[in-house]
Each structure stands twice: as C-alpha cells, then as structure tokens.
Structure 1
Amino acid sequence: MVTVVDALRFADDLESGETLLDRKQTEDEQDERDVSDLLIDQVEFADVIILNKIDLVSAEAADAIKVLLKTLNPEAKILTASYGQIDPLDILNTKAFDFEKASQGAGWIKELNEEHIPETEEYGITSFLYKRQHPFHPKRFYEFLSELPEEIVRSKGFFWLATKEQSAGLVSQAGKSIQLQSAGTWVAALTEEEQQQTLKDEPELSSRWHPEWGDRLNELVFIGIGLDQEAITRELDQCLLTEEELKSDWRKLEDPFPDFSGR
C-alpha cells in the first residue's frame, strides 16, 4: 500500500480545512470527508510512503516532514523523490503488504498500546498518551476540542462522557478536522452475563477493570510539533468531573455533543 505525500503542500493540506468537495475531487454531494482526514488515513495505513517534490523544499523541511511521517506511521518505509522518480522495484511485486500489521501500525495506536514513539527533539515532534479513569464533563470537554492548540497535528482516541454512560466516544482529529462518533458500548454497560462472557473472551480487560467504572476511561493520543504536554494534560484534567460533580446527577449536566448510538 503506497501513499504519495506532496512535500510542498503537506503542511498546507493538513491545515486547509477543505473538503474533497471544495477541491472538486469528488462528485458525491454527500461526501463530507476533509482533505486532512483522508491524507492522514492514507499515511497511517500505508506500508510505503513516497515523499515527492523534495526538490521544492529545503533539506531541513524535508527531514522534518519525514520525522513527522515516521511518527504518524512508525512501520512505514519512507522513500523520497523528485518528479515521482523512484526505483520501481521498491514498490512493485514486493509482496510486503500485511493487512493486520497495517491496521495496527499507526503511531496513535502504538501510543494507545503504550509503545511510546521516541521524541525527535531536533524538530520538536512529540507524542503522548493521556489516560484517566474518570468521566469528562461534556461541556468542558466539548470546549476543549473546539479550541485545540494548533501545535496538535493528530489526535485520536476514546473518551467517556458523564452524560453518556452506555456509549464510548471516539474522537479523530487531523489538522483542523475533528470527527466524533460512537465507539460502541462500554462492557460495563452490558448485562452481567454479557460482561462475564466478554471478560472471559478478553482476559486482558480484567487487568484494567475498575471496581466502580469497569472499562470506562479516557485514552487520547496527541501527536504534534512543539506540544506542551503539561499544559494539554492540565486542560484535560480540568475537563474531568470534580469530586462535587461526581456526587451529583450526571444526567443534568449540559451536553452539546451529538447522540452516540452505542447499542
């Protein structure tokens, strides 16, 4: 699976906020995909990335993009090219593609599995995992997502809203694009019989099973340039329910999020 990245336009494409319709790259009026989403998805799933047009950027800029691509997809082989000129043997009949490996190769998944990607201090590209087993206040977390620092290039993960105890949320951000959707039902929201069967089928889940919250938790990965991890962590901690709010009726909290249909 080969993805071609335009070295000259890469940063602009991530921050453009444009859709495929805006670019006239689709005729489907219902296709609302953002350019940045599509670009990041392709980078994360590829096993070969060709960084093209490196003759149009400085050597330092090309190196920085390569480091960022490696952070987004640590498993991919990265080739550089001008005018798309590469050795065909690097991409043809290699029989190198492994669907399972590609599905788990993205940098955010590795961070989620606590396989930390080493920082590259020279270019300020870092990543980190935010993990808490307390619910988010929906209004405060919504406001956080609405004002993400521009240094965050990619963030993705699961979140737990106090007002939605049944459904896990999934947030996927690439550049200026943010997608929110259900990630299914928390195991803790299932019947006792269903819980026991799931824990039997997935024994590793028992190791992180909270006596009160079960498997409900927040796991968010952030990848970016010049990230202030302490500041982002502090802001997210402020989105969690306070001790007083934990004792209140969570259903009455203001919730600007759309409905999640986990079941």
Structure 2
Amino acid sequence: MPTPVVLVAGLHATARTATVERLLAEHPGSLAIHHDLSQVTHGRVRRSIRDRTGVLDTAEVRLAHGCGTCTVREDLLPQLVMPAPGATLLIVDLWDSVEPRSVAEALARAGQLHPTCVHTALDARHMPLDICRGDQLAETGQAAAAGDQRHLAQVLARQIEYATSLSLHGGDAEDTELSAAVLGHLAPHTPIVPIPDVAGPMLNVSELAHRVDPATAQLPADKQTGEVTTAVWHRLRPLHPGRLFDAMEELVTTTVRSRGRFWLANRHQRMLAWDAVAGVVSVADAGPWLAALPEAAWDLISPTRRAAAALDWNPIIGDRVQHLVFTGPDIDRDHICGLLDSCLIGRGDSLPGAAEWAGYDDPFAPVLNLKESA
C-alpha cells in the first residue's frame, strides 16, 4: 500500500511545528521534510529531514528559477519517493508563506505518492489579527523569493480556504473562541481538528481546486457570529464599470475578506473574479460565462462547473450573476448591499452595445488586460 503523505501549511511556524511534532509522535516510522526559506532572498534554501527523535539529514538545495516555492516543488518529490518504502507516513512541513495548492497538485500529478490531506495549522492568538494585516511578506521576513510581492493576509487566506482541515494552537479560551468564529466564516466547510486525519483516499486536487476557483467556489452564506459578520450580495443585473470602480475602495477598506464572481456590463462575455483581503484587492478574468459558449463546447467543461452554472441559470442571461461575499467585524450589511446596488445598471440607464462600450473609459482595462478568448 502506498505511503500516505500529509501537507502541513501555515504562516505561524510554532503552530505548524506543533502539528508536525504531534504527527511524528503518533505515527512511529514517520518522516517530516522541511525546506527553510528564511535565506531565500540570498539564494539559499536548506532542506531538513527528521523523525520523532530529531534531525536525520540536512542539505543546501539549489534555488530553482529564483523561486522558493518552485524549489520546494522540484526538490520535494525525489525526497519523498526515496524514503517512502520504509516510512509509515511522510509529512511535508511547508515553509511559512508557501501556499499548499501548487505543492499538492504537483504531488498528485507525479502519481508515485499517496497525498491524503492538506492541513493548515494556525496560532489562535495571531490569526484574527494577521488576517487583517496589510503587510507584505518581505516586511515580515517571510518572502518565498526575492521580489515576492504577496501580502501576509492574502497568503493566510489561501492557506485557510484551500485546506481540508485546520487546527488552532496557543492562546487562551477566548483566543480560540474568536479564531474558531472567524474560521467559521472564512472556511465554513472545513473541520477544525486537534490533529489531521492522514488515513483515507488519495487527495482529489480537482475537487479542492473547484472549491476555491471563482466559477465554482463554495462561498460562505450570510452569517453573524458575535461581532463577525458575513454579508452575501447576489444580483442578476450587470454592473456599471465606472461606478463599481469608484466604490471599490470603500468596499475593500470597510471589510476584511471578500471574494466571488461578478459581471460588468461592458464585458458581457467574461466572468470576473473578485478577491480582496486586508485592504488589498485583485480583479481578474476568470474566463467566459458558460452562457457565452456554444453548446458544443459545454462537453469540454467540467461537471462541477456545469452544476455551479445550473444553480445560477436564468433563461435570459444564463449563468451571468453578481455573487460577492464580504466578511469582517460588525459589517453594515444594508450599507454594503446598498452601495453595490447603486453600481448596477438601472432602468434609467441607457445600455450601450458592444461597439459603443468600446468608446467608453474602462477603469478596469489596465488591471484586466483581457484576452477575449476561451
């Protein structure tokens, strides 16, 4: 039977290490592999392999493509394959700011291993604060490459939302209660457990991708837990690009986490993805709406995507929809929804055709740089 592999991620090194040490202790014969990227901006990556007795081996690894995450992916597979026959469990102890998705997908593609879960370990004292921080990783000493422009809260959100399980460490009962409440909004479908379950079938990375990708994401529902609020905005009319652009700063700065898919009136064929955390927002092209494709092309679309589109399907506009979700402390749900409603194309608006829209100023054009192709 193939040796199970568990990925343990998390910006909080103490929480992550506690999880790895517990796995090593509870699974005799297990090994943990860690790539230390603390010196990656100086071109150095150090790999270590340990068991429950301590470090067994260390080595300096050549930096691949100037990228720490690329180095981890390329060096990890042979390191896992070599000891696999004699190990009961292989633990991938990911560096602070490494996002687990690319590593999980690389291991699944390799076909020689049996990854079973992606676990993110969190410090209960720091997580509710860190998800609100706008610091870049370079400022916190957690960059995964020279020139890493990612923000701490962005990485933390992706580590939380991609994981198959989560754990909380440190802090007191009040810290744990608040952190659990925040996680109940950010990742409502993900269990919080003392230790990850490493048994079970091989990780389905396609299902994990569908869970977080804009077209198929399992977005949170309206919810209130103490001071933590999640507000859902769901509409069927297109958004005016200029009005939405003008409203973005308020939408992003008055909430902590927001994401979803949306429809601009001047980009009728394209689904757009909204992703914002701690005041940093990204708007990206997520491909064509299903309704914009010829029916002959639908067979090429995954069943999950077709099912997601069916839930939003309207006989006139197809799967085009506004579905954005905002989370933060004491959010004014009515104000957020009212502000977004004011950005919609209304009955009093004249709706230009595609040729006329081309003559209008599009504030999103420099960001999207869309290539109108499927």
**Retained in 2: the 8 A contact 1:75–1:105?**
no
Distance (Å, rounded) in 1 between the aligned partners of 2:311 and 2:160: 33
**Retained in 2: the 8 A contact 1:14–1:36?**
yes
Q: Which residue of 1 aligns with 2:69?
A: none
Alignment RMSD (CA, Å): 3.3
Q: Which residue of 2 aligns with 1:39?
A: 156
SS of the equivalent of 2:137 reads coil
Deviation at 1:63, TM superposition (A): 0.9
Per-residue deviation, residues 209-242 of structure 1 (Å, max 9, x unmatched): 4444332221112222212111111000001112
SS of the equivalent of 2:320 reads coil
Q: Is 1:173 aligned to residue 276 of structure 2?
A: yes
Deviation at 1:73, TM superposition (A): 1.6
Judge which range, 241-250 or 213-222, deviates more.
Answer: 241-250
Q: Which residue of 2 aligns with 1:60?
A: 174
SS of the equivalent of 2:140 reads coil
Distance (Å, rounded) in 2 between the aligned partners of 1:105 and 1:190: 23
Deviation at 1:18, TM superposition (A): 1.7
SS of the equivalent of 1:243 reads coil
**Number of equivalences:** 245
Gaps of 5+ in 2: 1-117
Q: Which residue of 2 aligns with 1:91?
A: 196
Q: Which residue of 2 aligns with 1:17?
A: 134
Change (3 A) 1:119 1:262: farther
| TM-score when normalising by structure 2 | 0.56
Q: Which residue of 2 aligns with 1:29?
A: 146
Deviation at 1:175, TM superposition (A): 1.8
Distance (Å, rounded) in 2 between the aligned partners of 1:154 and 1:255: 25
SS of the equivalent of 1:222 reads strand
- Between 1 and 2, higher relative CO (CA 8 Å, sep ≥ 6) is seen in 1
| TM-score when normalising by structure 1 | 0.77
Change (3 A) 1:60 1:92: closer
Change (3 A) 1:41 1:192: closer
Per-residue deviation, residues 1-25 of structure 1 (Å, max 9, x unmatched): 2212223332332232122223232
Judge which range, 128-137 or 19-28, deviates more.
Answer: 19-28
Change (3 A) 1:241 1:189: same
SS of the equivalent of 1:163 reads coil
**Retained in 2: the 8 A contact 1:18–1:34?**
yes
Q: Which residue of 2 aligns with 1:82?
A: none
**Retained in 1: the 8 A contact 2:261–2:324?**
yes
